[in-house]
Structure 1
Amino acid sequence: MLAQLKIENVAVIEKAEVRFTPGLNVLTGETGAGKSILIDSINAILGNRTSRELVRSGAQKAAIWATFEQIPDSVHKQLEKFGYEDADDLLLYREISADGKGSCRVNGMPATAAVVRDISAGLLSIHGQHDSQSLTNPATHLGLLDQYAHNQDLFESYYTLYRKLVEVKRQLDSLQAGEASKQQRMEQLSAEIKEIRAASLSVGEEKSLEERRTIITHSQSILEGLSGAHAALSGDDSDESVGAADLLGEAVGGLQQSARLDESLAPLAERLSELYYGARELATDLADKLDAYDFDAGELDQIESRLDTIYRLKKRYGLEVEDLLARCEADEQELETIQTSDEKIAEYKAQTQTLYRQAREAAEALTQSRLKGFTAMNRQMKQALEFLNMPGIRFALRHAKGPLSSHGQDQVEFLISTNPGEEPKPMAKIASGGELSRIMLAFKSALADRDALPTVIYDEIDTGVSGLAAGRIGQLLHQTAAGHQVLCITHTPQVAAFADNQLLIQKNVRDGRTFTEIHTLDMDGRVRVLANMISGDKVSELSLASARELIERSH
């Protein structure tokens, strides 16, 4: 559950720390006091997209901390998957800079927003003010039905078969393309293969050729340098000059003679001797190199011709040599596939028939789970809505089977009749705003028993509702909170009265700046706040007594 939320420099909240408890946590306050900022902060801490506009004016950054206790197994598994320290509690941190940059941390370790979203997916769900309107869109009904039916395993089994069927069908359609286009493609592939294979390309050849061309092009300069170095070491017979190696030999002889008389010179003589033998060995290597430098006059032309062939192929296909070889292999595989297409077509047709039959069976199992789920959900929804002061309500499911698709074979829409004697019709044509709020709460209540999420947040679920219906909403929220932590933002005293923990969000202006503060209310504070919600600014003894009675009757 969400145990603590700490906020700094988020919108009009300079600094606030909120502690939540198990059960029903109710947040109350005037419109514009900052209740939605809490929702924005929770969304941000869960790794959802945010904006620098969330940073308080004049501040360099906003910071949010959230502590979750008794986290579910699914979150433990995600922490282990991503390599984060696992513990009974989870600490999330989100920082948003005024320049739009930000960072996230999980148990003190850096994380990306995407990883935080994956980890926190099993922590809580938020029902926003406008989510109830989604009920008027039939596209959302199948998802709600699947949530209640708890048929994820059946769906995954079906979807795996469906994706295989789509892939095999795509390959079959490709093979069954017109014979003219098939022949044209075979000719194109054959020409490409012939051209690339004829070039006898190899990886690294181009670089080796370019290096060899450089050597040949500058061979005269290379030979002059080698000859000069060899002459300097070995001497030049033409002018009987002495080379450095011979001079080193003379120096070695002289120094060795001196070392016989002064032993301290022995190390120097040894070092000089190493230089001499190194110079002689180097002179020999240079002589070998000079002997090996034999350039064929036609080699440069051959290299240029070969490089031109490689260049033209690269330019023609827009690919490097390694990619050209890969393309040739792919062409050969495709050509082989086309050439054996008759056999493949028969194979793919058999696979398609088998997969289609299996997918239909899996889709039918999915359909039956949905129909069975609706029967149970319909019964539970009817009870919940009658409790929420919507007596005589009727639910129906408009169901049709269609072609296989990514979600199965079912097309569904929830229909509703809110008055006895009327046939059920689409929700968009029947339900008012207040009725939609109660219907959505009934859905959420029905799903709560099947949902492993420990925390559910309702942002003004009681919109458009008052009186008895509002009181019943509070009672249902309180019942739901027996198995889940519930956070609820409300303007309705009948709902707030059921709180196990009530928080007041209050906006003040000091020195021309707006500040929002969050206070946990004791019993006296709750009575006064509820009295304000009942009677407005003019709180009387009667409204105070009414507020106290409302709280006492709610527990």
Structure 2
Amino acid sequence: MLLELTIKNFAIIEDLQVEFSSGLNVLTGETGSGKSIIIDALSMVLGDRASKDIIKKGKDFAYIEAIFTNYSERLSSIFKENNIEMGDLIVISRDIRQDRPSITKVNGRTVPASILVKITDKLIDIFAQNENTSLMSQSNQRDLIDSFGSAEHKNNLSLLEIKVKGLNRLIEEFQEKSKSTLDKDREIDLLKYQIEEIEDANLTDKDDSDLEERYRFLNNISGISNNIQESVTLLKSSYENISIEDMMDKLISLITEILDTSKDLEPYYNELEDIRYRLKEVSHSLESYLNSIDYSEEDLVNLESRINLVNNLKKKYGNSVNDIYKYLDKTKSRYEFLNNYEKEMKSLEDEISKEKNECLKLAKKMSEERKSISKKFEEKIQKELIELNIKNAEFKVEFREKPLSQDGIDDMEFMIVTNIGEDFKPLSKIASGGEMSRVMLAFKSILAEKDEIQTLVFDEIDSGISGITAQIVGNKIKKISNCRQVIAISHLPQIVSVADSHYVIEKFQDENKVISNIRKLSRNDRIKELARLIGGINITQTALKAAEEMLTKEGE
């Protein structure tokens, strides 16, 4: 439910705040007072495109804020997905500036228009007489009928969408394979060559890095051997009649001689012993490594040939051995397909035929369900139209079969007759504004029974009606307000008199500017405003008495 609306610097509104109540809220006011501007502001905070032109002259910003009670579990997932805090209230604000893009926030968090619309679509529905395009769309009409379906029907809708997508993928695959087999024999030869070339190479993971490392080693084997040999020589051979090992032996011997008389030298002695041992061990290991080197010129030539082979395959089929084998798998699959082309295509055709039959079976079941739903829907709309004083109205849902698609095989269109002797025509062809208002109200009445949207806004949908029809429309709107909050802009006394809360929008001239304001009316003020609607500018005692009687009749 919409609790509060705040509007600042919007068109002729400078600073306006209004608190709405449950039930039926009616807004009245003279022409040009700003009634529709309030609805425009509400629409903008709910997600309509923001234009800087609406900023009040002389101001650099406009601000709109709408506060709703949080009643719907359906919103929780949207809030969680977008890290929006969820509380007892939902506060939506829009700040429109001259020097920057507008900013929209939900509970203090900035949100893009796409997320805002997902939220507000579940909070409020605004309907004006000239805003009936959604029900004119045949796809929306089909969605409306589907919304009245059972859980099984809705599951079938989802299942059909999945199955038709799968069917379309199979058809695309069939078409693609059909196109790509124009030169089948030549492609088979090429694929066979590629498969043999990769398989004959017997590639392993070592071919990715170990080959290059081994090649670098063998290519530098002479230098490696020389360096190791020289290292061993330095460790073991004499230099000026003494080797490094001999030097260590001599050093340890000298320390040993004085160890008895100087115990403090014992740690150094131990460390020297360890160094001597490790030097001997290194010397032995280097000699073993040198003796283990197995090298021949033939090894180097073979290795170089292997590297060229692997690099050539990588250049053709992938940057690594793993990539090459992936390419091999795809090539084998394509090779098998082409070698068994007729069999494969027949199998694919059979699968397409099977899937299409299953989709058609499901679509026909859905079509039967839609026709059953439509019969009940027709009866409900017919009843509503008669109650709304379109006594000769007839309504039907016309079905035409169309090619299978994700939404089934039904082309559907709402058709109506409003006068005796006329033929059925599409809903969009209704000429009378008054008739269109009542037809849309009939739809809203039925939809109010099933959807969870708690706030409905009617912007002068009573245009073009009067007398008893106005009374009937007022009663219908009042009935809807028993289970939903309704906000209605109206000029008809018959509708205004049944309101639970009545607000008047007034326009004032203040120095060189025009200001629009809104206030909630007391009973006495309501009588005066109703009298104005009944009698015009000159309010007579007769008009006042009639207005008081209307309110008394409605329980005021």
The aligned residue for residue 33 of structure 1 is 37
Partner of 2:22: 22
Alpha-carbon separation, structure 2, partners of 1:537 and 1:261: 127
Asked if 1 retains the 8 angstrom alpha-carbon contact of 2:2 and 2:66, the reply is no
1:156 and 2:175 matched: no
3-state DSSP of counterpart to 1:390? coil
Please list, as runs of the form range in 1=range in 2, the aligned pairs for 1:436-447 lying within 5 A after superposition.
436-447=436-447
**CA 1:269/1:336 → structure 2, altered by over 3 Å: closer, same or farther?**
same
Distance 1:101 1:282, change over 3 A: farther
Deviation at 1:392, TM superposition (A): 0.8
Residue 472 (structure 1) aligns with:
472
User: In structure 2, what residue type is equivalent to 1:412?
Assistant: M
What corresponds to 1:392 in structure 2? Answer: 392
CA–CA separation in structure 2 for the residues paired with 1:52 and 1:284 = 86
Task: Please give the alpha-carbon distance, in whole angstroms, between the structure 2 residues aligned to 1:375 and 1:471.
Answer: 29
Contact kept, 8 Å, 2:35 with 2:489, in 1: the verdict is: no
Alpha-carbon deviation of 1:279?
Answer: 10
Q: Distance in 2 between matches of 1:301 and 1:426?
A: 85
**Letter of the 2:154 counterpart:** Q
Q: What is the aligned partner in structure 2 of residue 330 from structure 1?
A: 330
- Shift of the 381–200 alpha-carbon distance from structure 1 to 2, 3 Å rule, reads same
Two-structure CA RMSD over aligned residues (Å) = 5.6
- Which whole-Å CA distance do the structure 2 matches of 1:534 and 1:84 have between them? 48
Q: Hey, what does 1:67 align to over in structure 2?
A: 68
Q: What amino acid maps onto 1:156 in structure 2?
A: S
Cα distance 1:142–1:61, how it changes in 2: closer, same or farther (>3 A)?
Answer: same
Give the match for residue 416 of structure 1. 416
Shift of 1:170: 4.2
Matches within 5 A, 1:60-209: 64=65, 66-72=67-73, 74-76=74-76, 89=88, 91-93=90-92, 98=97, 99-100=100-101, 102=103, 104-105=105-106, 122-127=122-127, 130-149=130-149, 151-174=153-176, 180-183=182-185, 185-187=187-189, 189-190=191-192, 193-194=195-196
SS state of the match for residue 143, structure 1? helix
Shift of 1:41: 0.8
Say which SS state the counterpart of residue 26 (structure 2) adopts: strand
Partner of 1:47: none
Alignment check: 8 A CA contact 1:175 1:338 kept: no
> Structure 2: any 5+ residue segments left out of the alignment?
none
Whether the 8 Å CA contact 1:531–1:546 is kept in 2: the answer is yes
Q: Aligned partner of 2:40: which letter?
A: S
> Which of the two has higher C-alpha Rg?
2
Range with greater deviation from structure 2 (298-307 or 396-405): 298-307
**How does the TM-score come out when normalised to structure 2?**
0.71
The count of corresponding residues between Structure 1 and Structure 2 is 543
- Structure 2 Cα separation of the partners of residues 102 and 203 of structure 1: 56
Output aligned runs, 1:366-385, within 5 Å. 366-385=366-385
Report if aligned partners of 2:45, 2:92 keep a CA contact under 8 Å in 1: no
Equivalent residue runs for 1:170-319 within 5 Å: 170-174=172-176, 180-183=182-185, 185-187=187-189, 189-190=191-192, 193-194=195-196
Identity across the alignment (%): 22
Q: 1:159 to 1:209 in 2, by over 3 A?
A: same
TM-score, length-normalised on structure 1? 0.71
Output the CA distance in 1 between the equivalents of 2:465 and 2:405.
Answer: 43
Counterpart Cα distance in 2 of 1:529 and 1:382? 35
SS in 1 for 2:381: helix
| Contact 2:454/2:485 (<8 A) preserved | yes
Cα distance in 1 for partners of 2:188, 2:55 equals 65
Whether the 8 Å contact between 2:63 and 2:96 is mirrored in structure 1 is yes
Instruction: Give the CA deviation at 1:470.
Output: 3.9
CA distance in 2, matches of 1:103, 1:299: 73
Cα distance change on mapping 1:388 and 1:176 into 2, 3 Å: same
Equivalent residues of 1:478, 1:498 under 8 A apart = yes
CA distance in 2, matches of 1:250, 1:111: 81
Deviations along 1:141-177, one digit per CA (max 9) or x if unpaired, are 3233333456423433443443444344444555566
Encode CA deviations 1:25-49: one digit per residue, 9 max, x unaligned.
33455256332111221237xxxxx
* Residue 458 (1) aligns with residue 462 (2): no
Cα distance in structure 2, aligned partners of 1:356 and 1:16: 60
CA offset digits 1:492-529 (Å, max 9, x no partner): 55434433234455666879787765544444454455
The answer on whether the counterparts of 1:418 and 1:431 sit within 8 Å (CA) in structure 2 is no
1:14 and 1:239 map into 2 onto residues whose CA distance is 106
Matched position secondary structure for 1:488: strand
Query: After the TM superposition, which of the residue ranges 477-486 and 187-196 deviates more from structure 2?
Result: 187-196
Please state whether the residue corresponding to 2:450 is helix, strand or coil.
coil
Q: Is the 8 A contact 2:41 2:64 kept in 1?
A: no
Q: In the TM superposition, what is the alpha-carbon distance from 1:489 to its structure 2 partner?
A: 4.1
Q: 2: distance between equivalents of 1:415 and 1:427?
A: 5
Secondary structure of 2:22 counterpart: coil
Equivalent residue letter for 1:460:
D
Does the 8 Å CA contact 1:51/1:100 hold for their aligned counterparts? no
Counterpart CA distance in 2 for 1:10 and 1:242 is 99
Task: Give the aligned residue type for 2:454.
Answer: T
TM-aligned CA distance change 1:105 to 1:448, over 3 Å: closer
Which deviates more from structure 2 when the two are superposed, residues 360-369 or residues 171-180?
171-180
For the residues of structure 1 that align with 2:215 and 2:324, how far apart are their CA atoms? 23
Conserved 8 A contact 1:503-1:519: yes
Query: How far apart are 1:479 and its partner, in Å?
Result: 0.8
Q: Distance in 2 between matches of 1:110 and 1:289?
A: 73
What letter corresponds to residue 406 of structure 1 in structure 2? Q
Secondary structure at 2:47 match in 1: helix
For 2:440, the aligned partner's letter is: M
Displacement of 1:460 in angstroms is 1.8
Number of the residue aligned with 2:483: 483
Deviates more, 1:320-329 or 1:234-243: 234-243
What is aligned with 2:363? Answer: 363
